[in-house]
């Protein structure tokens, strides 16, 4: 019986891939295609990156998803990608990408490199933040004297805790009133949590109202909420 050999180099060392040894097969065929560079928008203020229409926290797992989306893999059994990232330099991250898989039940792998290039931009939340955009007002009204400073400090602490996930969790402005203060907040999500927390802690009356703001659409009405808390 004639031994099987590679017509490319004459090697009789298997395994063979579609009639060729591993080296000759990879010289003539690529297991996957990947761009030399992948450009991504990154917010210059909060550092989040844009992927699939959403601004998300920059993490290696997210960078892997971005590379995978830009990778073309022809027919390959049990494909699996592995990634190795280099430290960022000059707004660029180099990545080694290794694809493992099987052809005719024989294992094969190939490694390539790509570069992630960041384009500086402003995410939607940071753009709103720098333009003094706001979504809610917390009206604090005090029936007891000496409470204002304490409650304001508690609100500042709550906002600090929310700021990691909510860029708009901040006081845009504050206006002194006869029996309290009006706090204008960038984020309604955070304002709602704060109002409920303060009202619950002090067994205070909470009244919620809203009005339609400019900038909405036919499908989505834009609202600005007011939370009135009487302590």
The reported pLDDT for the residue numbered 104 is 81
Q: Are residues 217 and 141 in the same domain?
A: yes
Who wins on pLDDT, 70 or 19? 70
| Mean pLDDT, all residues of the chain | 90
Q: Are residues 94 and 159 in the same domain?
A: no
- Cα–Cα distances in angstroms (integers) from residue 54 to residues 27, 79, 92, in the given order: 39, 27, 21
Helix, coil or strand: residue 166:
coil
Q: What is the mean pLDDT of residues 100-123?
A: 92
Q: If we measure between CA atoms, which residue out of 38, 29, 13 comes closest to residue 76?
A: 29
Structure tokens at 35: 């761009």
Q: If we measure between CA atoms, which residue out of 86, 34, 91 comes closest to residue 60?
A: 86
Q: Are residues 137 and 192 in the same domain?
A: yes
Q: What is the mean pLDDT of residues 164-174?
A: 90
Q: Are residues 216 and 151 in the same domain?
A: yes
CB 57 within 8 A of CB 41: no
pLDDT in tens, 32-90: 999 999 999 999 999 999 999 999 999 999 999 999 999 999 888 899 999 999 999 99
Q: Are residues 202 and 226 in the same domain?
A: yes
Indicate if the pLDDT at residue 188 is higher than 80.
yes
CB 169 within 8 A of CB 184: no
The reported pLDDT for the residue numbered 1 is 40
Q: Are residues 137 and 219 in the same domain?
A: yes
* Number of structural domains found in the chain: 2
What is the domain range of residue 94?
A: 31-122
Lowest mean pLDDT, pick from 34-38, 152-156, 197-201, 218-222: 218-222
Q: Are residues 115 and 136 in the same domain?
A: no
Q: Is residue 86 a part of any domain in this protein?
A: yes
Residue 54: exposure state from Cβ atoms within 10 A (0-12, 13-18, ≥19): exposed
Q: Are residues 95 and 179 in the same domain?
A: no
Could you tell me the sign of the dihedral formed by the alpha carbons of 192, 195, 198, 204, in that order? negative
Q: Are residues 136 and 226 in the same domain?
A: yes
The reported pLDDT for the residue numbered 105 is 84
* Torsion angles phi and psi, residue 21, rounded to 5: -70, 170
Helix, coil or strand: residue 83:
strand
Q: Are residues 157 and 197 in the same domain?
A: yes
Please identify, among 58, 92, 122, the residue that sits at the C-terminal boundary of a domain.
122
pLDDT in tens, 121-158: 999 988 888 888 999 999 999 988 889 999 999 999 99
Please identify, among 76, 97, 122, the residue that sits at the C-terminal boundary of a domain.
122
Q: Are residues 116 and 154 in the same domain?
A: no
CATH number at residue 70: 2.60.40
DSSP secondary structure of 56-80 = E---HHHHHHHHHHT-B--S-EEEE
Please identify, among 104, 122, 140, the residue that sits at the C-terminal boundary of a domain.
122
């Amino acid at each position: 019986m004639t031994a099987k050999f590679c017509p490319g180099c004459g090697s009789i060392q298997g395994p063979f891939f579609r009639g060729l040894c591993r080296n000759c097969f990879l010289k003539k065929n690529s297991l996957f295609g990947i761009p030399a560079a992948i450009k991504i928008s990154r917010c210059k203020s909060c550092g989040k990156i844009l992927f699939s229409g959403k601004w998300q926290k920059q993490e290696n797992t997210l960078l892997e998803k971005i590379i995978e989306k830009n990778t073309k893999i022809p027919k390959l059994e049990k494909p699996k990608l592995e990634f190795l990232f280099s430290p960022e330099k000059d707004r660029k991250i180099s990545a080694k990408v290794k694809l493992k898989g099987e052809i005719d039940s024989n294992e094969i792998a190939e490694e390539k490199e790509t570069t992630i290039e960041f384009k500086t931009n402003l995410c939607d939340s940071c753009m709103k933040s720098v333009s003094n955009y706001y979504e809610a007002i917390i009206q604090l009204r005090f029936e007891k004297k000496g409470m204002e400073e304490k409650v304001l400090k508690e609100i500042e602490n709550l906002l600090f805790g929310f700021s990691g996930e909510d860029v708009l969790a901040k006081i845009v402005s504050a206006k002194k009133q006869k029996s309290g203060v009006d706090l204008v907040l960038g984020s309604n999500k955070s304002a709602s949590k704060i109002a409920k927390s303060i009202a619950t802690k002090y067994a205070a009356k909470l009244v919620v109202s809203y009005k339609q703001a400019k900038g909405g659409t036919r499908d989505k009405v834009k609202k600005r909420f007011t939370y009135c808390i009487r302590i």
